[in-house]
Chain A
Amino acid sequence: MSKTKINRRNFLKVLGLGGAGAALAGCDMPSTVTLEEGEEKIYSYLAPEEYVIPGVGVWYASTCLQCPAACGTHGRVREGRVLKLEGNPDSAVNAGKLCQMGQAALQAHFNPDRITAPLINGQPASWDDALALINEKASGGNVAWMTGTVSGHQRVLLDAHLAATGKGHHYAVETVNARAWTDAGKTVLGDAMPTLHLDKAKAVLSLGADLLGTWISPVTFMGQYGKFRAAPRGVLIMVEPAMSLTGANADQWVAAKPGTEAAVALGVGHLLMTKHGLSLNGMPNATSAFQSMTPAQVHEIAGVSEAALNKIADTLVSHSPSLVIANASHAAARIAMVLNIMLGNVGKTLTPGASIAADPLAPMMGSSKDLAEFAQNAAAGKIDAVFISGANPAFVAPQGLDMAAALKAVGFKVAIATCHDETTKACDVVLPLSSALEDWGTHVPAYGGKPGVVHLQQPLMEPLHADTRGLGDILLTLGKSAGVDGLDAFEDYYGYLRTAVSAMIGSELEGDWHRVLQAGQFETRAASRAFSAGHDVALGFSETAVSGLHLVTVARQGLYDGRHANSSWLQEAPDQISKAVWDSWAEIHPKTAASLNLKDGDYVRLTTASGAITTRVFIYKGVHPNAVCVPMGRGHTDYGRWANNGVNPLTIVDAHLGDWQSSEIIATASLVKIDAAGENRHLVRLMDTDQQYGRKLVATIPAQQFGRTQGGA
């Protein structure tokens, strides 16, 4: 630093005093700070509703569609515009809370890159022409649908359309899904969505289930987590290859080699049996699987020390009832279910689920299996036409699935979307969709809330773009022209929905409908499930990832699977782990970085069998030395003005299918090679440093002392 340079501290002092000088006199500076008279327009109402007062907000209830959890929302509407969203306090799913993605639904609505008119082969067209073309090309043969998670009356209409057009299939695609957990629940306990009682558990062991960030219904779990952590404070243990938001909150964070959480879980079971004398009645398969996985083997396979394993087993026994959850793999999830049986948690912290009795409305939850199946069937020429809405297969598919060729092999593709993305670009017809804040719908939350309660989605403002249409309206139109019975009576989806909801609540009265609108939800008959006796399934895991450096792609709350990359708020919201904004990075353990001679900010080329991406290194202790963690969501090529940054790690995931008797894509099974790519540039991060430089901003105590005081050890 040279003598003449002003340092930051002095600069701020001068700025402050100078500013004070300006402010003392500046209060009277006219016209430079106030608006120029006559430069802005102001429109009055023609004939306002009685309760509308300009400047005073009115709150309306609706439903969040930013992720499959379907939380209830309240939107503040002022002068005809929706300005702010909050959680609906009456919804038992989210109890008045909303996550950052939910808050950002406003930006999805006001996004300047919205599609405003139908397109045929990329050229603006009229609705009549687009629908005529659809009738001509997609009315017979194998007409498929690809969506994200759908439920409620949209699902009813979609199923009816599928049935009417012929033999098509509905592919529900979600890269961030809980399929491992739901499949394991079904196989072991006969219930795909058991109810979790985090609040009643004294210890929770999570095998890669990021319940505070992205798992099933994060806001529900955040609420329960608060109770779980209230005195007497529950102990949270997390096993995963790269730290998640949940991992960052854990008392004991255990780094396992990518894809080996199942081995850790088996090792825990082994100790529960041999050290603590627990047993499994009538489950010889499971018993022998646990017996054969010794702590020494776990150490070799997963890189988890015997001491850590002992600590997990001891905590689970001393903190009963506990709860074991998993999402890392099908293998791990099955073992987690069996561990719950062994620990006696079933019936205490894990009880049978309950949901809506009207099955056709239940959520159809997505998975990556459907993505792979779609690619295979499309490439084999089995799909004649496809409607795609709420899914972006061209972005999330690994290169190995060759989605571009698969889409090309489908003769006729219709995208129903609010914004252009990589998939709409590949479609023949694009129909402009209303935003979630302009549309009608019913949604059955995938998890949580009161069984039998359906969330209602109502428009919070008039459509911003006159030529857009709601999903229900489009489904209704398609259904009518496909000849679905009983739809001709309805002019629009609002009419259909109102009739259907009135039938469900057993009242046609105007007042009762208004009560539903006001509450944002209504109750119908619930059906509760029961557990079957623990099914003695084969336990084990696919040994695909025990040696070598592996690519780990993770979803973080924010950009999620990439669907929110076109929101500048969520791009600007720092990542929960690295605190980085607006770009991609690869989290690498300091040991790995040292062995490869890499520094923070070095660009590296990550090469798997499927391809390569180049991004910069973020050296971080919260990853296993065998893992290279690249969060997904960035690297868009056609997703509006804010999404073209970073790289997309999903493309270089090797499309290994068949994680332990399932057909999901294994997210952690791709071996990766790291090569320095030359350049070094600073990764922009909020806070930028983990040091306090002696400023004592946050009080700290050593980890060991913390463990002693908080019951962790």
Chain B
Amino acid sequence: MSTERSKRKPFPWVQAAVAAVVVGASIVLGAQIFERQLHPESAGVAPAPRVPGAEFPTDTFAGKDVEQPINYSHKLHAGDLGINCLYCHTYARRSKVAGIPPTAKCMGCHTVVGTDKPEIEKLTQMWQSNQSPAWNKVNDVPDFVHFSHERHLQKFLFDNPEMDIKNAPDVCAMCHGDMNQVGVAKKMKPLTMGFCVRCHESNQGPSDCTRCHK
């Protein structure tokens, strides 16, 4: 074995490594450019920063229209009626997931409000037959990413002296975009690792791998 090894020419791993880095990077950059071309309208649109004491992430993402079992409008509830995000997504401040509001919460208003509207009738019928709506997921991170809503709300909302709870939607908008403007939910921020890391850098979030990849 050892004699064989001394006869052999050393493997040019430096060159190979450089080549591999170049190939790896160009595949990925290519994919990004390709992706931007898919969603040209998203390029360069940056909402004004709205969370005091924090850098507001500027990236955007033009998500697909995702059909839902009930044609729920964020614009109507959160935008026009001004219901705080945390009223319905009540788990966001208590858990890693924000949660979809339980049907009981919808029915809290809709046993009396808007009962004649077809979408509310649909909801009422589901409620009466003990069925949860099968929502289609819009925002998600892969299973190997540990993201906590609770921790982010703590930092940007509850521990932020310049913020009031009524401004919660501004904090939500950092990662979800301005939900007051859309009807049925849509993905409006890329939620990629680059997106996370840039924001962590500008807002002094933790940067060790194991904080998110547990």
Contact = CB atoms under 8 A, between A and B. Distances in A.
Contact of B11 (A6, A31, A44): A6
B8 interface: yes
B208 interface: no
B102 A42 contact: no
Interface in B47-99: 61, 63-64, 66-67, 91, 94-97, 99
Contacts of A53: 91, 94-95, 99
A496 to B, nearest CB: 28
Interface string A2-34: 010011001001110111111011111111111
Contacts of B134: 41-43
B125 to A, nearest CB: 13
Given A20-B21, A21-B21, A38-B67, A45 B102 contact: yes
A33 B135 CA distance: 21
Nearest to A20: B21
B136 A40 contact: yes
Given A22-B24, A45-B132, A37 B187 contact: yes
Contacts of B190: 28, 30
A25 B136 contact: no
A27 B192 contact: yes
A25 B28 contact: yes
Contact of A46 (B8, B94, B95, B127): B127
Contacts of A6: 11
A381 interface: no
B17 interface: yes
B35 interface: yes
B23 interface: yes
A46 B130 contact: yes
Contacts of A34: 140-142, 191-192
B113 interface: no
Contacts of B24: 18-19, 21-22, 25-26
Nearest to A18: B20
B43 interface: no
Contact of B193 (A27, A42, A56): A27
B204 interface: no
Given A28-B193, A54-B91, A54-B97, A46 B102 contact: yes
B142 A33 contact: yes
Nearest to B195: A28
A235 B140 CA distance: 55
Interface residues of A, number: 42
Contacts of A18: 17, 20-21, 23-24
Contacts of B31: 29, 32
B8 A39 contact: no
Contacts of A21: 20-25
B150 to A, nearest CB: 9
Contacts of A30: 32, 35, 61, 190, 192
B104 interface: yes
A277 interface: no
A466 interface: no
B163 interface: no
B21 A38 contact: no
**Interface size class for chain B?**
35 or more
Nearest to B36: A30
Interface string A671-696: 00000000000000000000000000
Interface in B133-155: 133-142
A3 B7 CA distance: 9
A54 to B, nearest CB: 4
A46 B127 CA distance: 7
Contact of A14 (B17, B95, B135, B197): B17
B12 to A, nearest CB: 9
A486 interface: no
B135 A42 contact: yes
Could you say which of B94, B139, B140, B141 has the most chain A C-beta atoms within 10 Å of its C-beta?
B140
A530 to B, nearest CB: 54
B9 interface: yes
A703 interface: no
Contact of B25 (A13, A22, A48): A22
Contacts of A39: 136-137
Nearest to A26: B28
B212 to A, nearest CB: 12
Given A42-B137, A46-B132, A54 B142 contact: no
Q: Which of A3, A20, A35, A43 has the most CB of B within 10 A?
A: A35
Interface string A218-246: 00000000000000000000000000000
Nearest to A24: B25
B112 interface: no
A136 B26 CA distance: 74
A31 B61 CA distance: 11
16 contacts: A7-B11, A10-B11, A14-B16, A21-B24, A22-B28, A25-B25, A25-B29, A28-B190, A29-B28, A30-B192, A34-B192, A37-B137, A37-B187, A43-B100, A54-B91, A54-B97
5 closest A-B pairs by beta carbon, nearest first, are A18-B20, A21-B21, A28-B194, A22-B24, A27-B194
Given A27-B194, A55-B99, 5 more contacts: A3-B9, A21-B21, A22-B24, A38-B67, A48-B104
